[in-house]
Amino acid sequence: MNDVNLNPETQTDVSKLEVLISRQQLQERIRELGQTISADYKNKELDLVGVLKGGFIFLADLVRELEIPCRIHFLQASSYQDRKTSSGVVRLSHDLQLSGKHVMVVEDIYDTGLTLQRVFEDLQSQSPASLEICTLLSKKIEGKVPLDVKYTGFEIENRFVIGYGLDYAERYREIPDIVCMD
């Protein structure tokens, strides 16, 4: 995958792209994740930290499937800067106070692991009671930063995907399925 094949200034006809995960598959899997997380956190309050921007749709759907009390927070993390591959530099922005709380990071995609590692280390430094990761997608990438991701929606091949919150140059987040752009 290289960055020259797509120009962020031109629109792609998404109806011609391969649907990797349909909206029905997403709904079903998120319902299952909600049930598992609810059982694991029974009698606890959970602080969910959504990683913006890509994780907002997943977080919204996931929280509606939870049967436990929760609080929702967001942090901004970026490493792509209008590219199809990570720049390797992760920028975070938030004002969270999570000491002593049960915290779950909710992320759209675990690919290189650089963003999740940076987010996890940042939140771990706040001394939460517990800290787990939930990601909608986990890419099969050799040499990615190894992390203990407790909840994963789908494991996918190393493809460039958009839709359901995932974007390319801030476009295509509204697509209800996850589609391949490569």
Residue 174 lies in a domain: no
10: in domain: no
Beta strand 102-110 with 91-93 is unpaired
- For residue 150, being part of any structural domain is answered with yes
Q: Does a structural domain hold residue 172?
A: no
Q: What pLDDT, on the 0 to 100 scale, is given for residue 91?
A: 73
Q: What is the pLDDT of residue 3?
A: 34
Give, rounded to a whole angstrom, the gap between the first and last alpha carbons of the chain.
7
What pTM was estimated for this model as a whole? 0.85
Instruction: Clarify whether 111 is annotated catalytic.
Output: yes
- Do the domain assignments include residue 124? yes
46 beta partners: 70, 102
What is the reported pLDDT for 141? 92
Whole-number pLDDT of residue 155: 97
Non-local CB neighbours of 143 within 8 Å, separated by 6+ positions: none
How many domains does the structure of the chain reveal? 1
The residue type found at 103 is: V
Helix (H), strand (E) at residue 147: none
CA distances to 26, 87, 96, 97, 141 from 122, in Å: 29, 19, 10, 11, 24
The single residue of 47, 108, 111, 167 carrying the catalytic annotation is 111
CATH number of the domain where residue 38 is located? 3.40.50.2020
5, part of any domain: no
Q: Are 70 and 44 in contact (CB under 8 A)?
A: no
Q: What is the gyration radius of the CA atoms in the chain, in angstroms? A: 16
What does the alpha-carbon distance between residue 88 and residue 147 come to, in Å, rounded to a whole number? 16
| Arithmetic mean of pLDDT over the chain | 88
In a domain, 170, yes or no: no
Whether 2 maps to a domain, the answer reads: no
pLDDT under 70 in the chain at which residues? Answer: 1-12, 79-88, 93
Residues 73-91 pLDDT 10s: 999 877 655 555 555 677 7
List pLDDT tens digits, range 102-134: 999 999 999 989 889 989 999 999 999 999 999
HSE, side-chain direction, 13 A CA sphere, residue 105: 29
Domain that holds residue 127: 23-159
